[in-house]
Structure 1
Amino acid sequence: MECIVKFDVVHGQDVKSLRGLVFVDGHALPTTEQLTEMFKDMKYEVTPDRTEPMRFTPVQPSAGYDHIRIRELDTGEKKYTEDRDLKNIVSNLMPNPNRPI
């Protein structure tokens, strides 16, 4: 089965929206390794971000982009979309060492 990956490549204030394709077993979502390989095929050498599961950062510091963020994973029957409102609420509730309590 195929999974359409919709993602944004962030260049400072500029954002380029792109799509990629990953083949998965059944109706499963792609693994991090499959997504990394898809980006590699598209000439984006990235590594997954440890703090955000749908964000990938460039391997080379001299890359022409800041990061890649996956917006949507669509297998045709199942669709994963990041809920940014929920993410903002949770991030505001999490302790931040740079923000006074």
Structure 2
Amino acid sequence: MECIVKFDVIHDHEVKALRGLVFVEDGKAPTTEQLEEMFKDMKYEVTADRGDSLRFMPTQSPAPFQHIRIKELDTGDKKFTEDRDLKGILSNLLPTSNRPI
């Protein structure tokens, strides 16, 4: 099954919206390794960010871009789209240390 990956390449002064294609098993999302391989085929040498599974950091230094951010995974059945507004609201509501609310 095909999975269309919509992502942004973040540069210093611009953002490029691009798409890629990954083949996955029915009902499954692409793995981190599959996404890294797709980016490698597109000449982006990256590795997944440990703190954020939707962000990929360049492995080369200096890199021509800051990072890559996945916006959407579309397999035709169900779509994953990150809700950045909701994520921002939740991060402001959650405590940043072990203090009671």
- TM-score, scaled relative to structure 1: 0.90
Q: Note the residue ranges of structure 1 that are not aligned, 5 or more in a row.
A: 97-101
**Structure 1 segments of 4+ aligned residues over 6 angstroms from their partners:** none
- Counterpart in 2 of 1:72? 72
- Counterpart in 2 of 1:10? 10
Q: Distance in 1 between matches of 2:95 and 2:67?
A: 23
* 1:89 positional shift: 1.6
- Counterpart in 1 of 2:96? 95
Q: Distance in 2 between matches of 1:75 and 1:94?
A: 35
* 1:70 positional shift: 0.2
Deviations 1:28-86 (A, max 9, x none): 11000000000000000000001111000000121100000000000011100001112
* 1:4 positional shift: 0.1
SS of match in other structure, 1:6: strand
Percent identity over the alignment is 68
* 1:12 positional shift: 1.8
- C-alpha RMSD of the superposition: 1.2
* 1:16 positional shift: 0.2
SS of match in other structure, 1:27: coil
Q: Distance in 2 between matches of 1:67 and 1:11?
A: 7
Q: Distance in 2 between matches of 1:88 and 1:94?
A: 13
- Counterpart in 1 of 2:41? 41
Q: Which amino acid aligns with 1:81?
A: T
Q: Which amino acid aligns with 1:25?
A: E
Q: Distance in 2 between matches of 1:38 and 1:45?
A: 10
Q: Note the residue ranges of structure 2 that are not aligned, 5 or more in a row.
A: none
